[in-house]
Structures are given as structure tokens and as C-alpha cells.
Structure 1
Amino acid sequence: MQVIESTFVVNLRDYPEELPPKERIAAETRYARALEKQLGGPEQVAAALDTMQSLEESPPEVVSPGDLTLLKAWGKASVAARQAGFRDLGEGEGAYFEVRLV
């Protein structure tokens, strides 16, 4: 049996109505898989998230061209992942997916 260790976790937050756990997990899984597909895998998602968090704490003048490329890729991946995550739920007003390193 192969054990897959996750490097990041996705949680659906502030959905306006109570979702059955099965639907919530399915939406979070769709979101995570879309991020992985867009960025190249779970390790790349974790690396991108780590870099994004570092950039939030850095002054704008230290942002490199590589960081700007990553920002664009993250933005594109986030849009695709959001669409995938909400696909069977409809848009939940104010709802969002939180992505954290574990």
C-alpha cells in the first residue's frame, strides 16, 4: 500500500449553507487537484505557497522576475482551482478556499 503525504491542505471556508461532509471534501479535493495540475504537482504547490507567503512579508523592491512569473502562475492556477472547486456547488457568496502548508 502506498501512502501519499500531503504537503498542503485545502479547506472550504465561509460557505453560506451547511454542506454534507462528502460534498465539502469533494469540493476541496477538486480544488487541490486543479492547483496541482496547473502548477505541476503537490510539491510545486507547496513551494509556490511558501514563496507566496515570503513575498507577502517582503518589500516590493525585492520581488524578482522569477517571483513575478510565480505570482502570475499562482493567480492562473487559483482561478482554475476555484472554478473546479465550486463546479458542483454553485458560487457561495463570500466563500473561499484556504490553502495552507502542513
Structure 2
Amino acid sequence: MYSITLQDAPADLPELARADAEHRFRRTLERALGGPEQVLAAYKAWTTAEDTAEDEMAAEDVALAKRWIATVGRARGDAFQAMGETEAWFEVRIGRVEAPGYRQRLGDTRQEQPSNHRSKTMAISPTKIREQINDSNVAILGFVRKNYEQIYG
């Protein structure tokens, strides 16, 4: 389904601390969004929002993308609580899952590619999170202002 890996961590970070940070990040995402399937749905909404104007998306997808942004910020904070300030970031890798032997059953004789060949990667850098939260807040304020003016003239 998806994997999470800590990137650009301090060189002296023990493997156990790295695994703990990755676990905390995943746990916060899944708890806040409702489970692994909802993490995937929110991630997909966010990636769609990156390339699509907000007025071209369904309201539910816009809300889900904004929820992803907020949840990622919270998950990053939870993951790094024991490490303090760092420029490390998490890579979320989404991959298509195929049953073993799937290609052979279809008569495809090509060599199977490594699993990361069919993956899409998202880098969650601290700067990008701040920019997206800021953009999201600006969009929300614009929406509120527009509706306020329509209602109250």
C-alpha cells in the first residue's frame, strides 16, 4: 500500500530512533485520517490538488487534501518529538500491489520490475508543509470573506 521512510536524518541517529520516528509518523497519519485506506485517499486528494485548481475539484476532495496537509504537520511533530528541531523529512511512497505471479497468469513474459518502479513518491519537507498550510489558510480566508460579503453585503 504505502511506505514511509525518514530522509536526511542526522548521521548519528540510531536505527531504533529512525524506526520509532517512522512508526510515530505512520501511527499519527492513520489515527487522524482513519486508517491506511483513508491515508491513501487523503494522499491522492492532496496530489490531485497539487495539479488542479480548487474550483475544478469536488468539495470533499478539497477538504480531504487540506486535512492531509494539517495531518502531515501534526504527524511530523509527533515523529520528531524526541529529536528536537531537524531538517529531516519523511518520504511517503505509494505503490501498486500485485499478487505474486500476476504477470505470468496473464501470459506476460517480461521481467517484473522492482516494486519501487510502480511507485509515486511524495517528499514532505518542513518548508513545503509551511507553504501549503499558508496557502490553505489563505484559500479558507478567501472563501469565508466571499461568503460573508454575499450574506451581509
The CA RMSD over aligned residues, in Å, is: 1.6
Matches within 5 A, 1:1-102: 7-92=1-86, 94-102=87-95
Runs of 4+ in 1 over 3 A off after TM superposition: none
TM-score normalised by L of structure 2? 0.56
Unpaired segments of 5 or more residues in structure 1? 1-6
Bigger relative contact order (CA 8 A; separation at least 6): 1
1:50–1:101 Cα contact (<8 Å) kept:
no
2:54–2:62 Cα contact (<8 Å) kept:
no
Unpaired segments of 5 or more residues in structure 2? 96-153
TM-fit CA distance, 1:29: 0.5
Larger Rg: 2
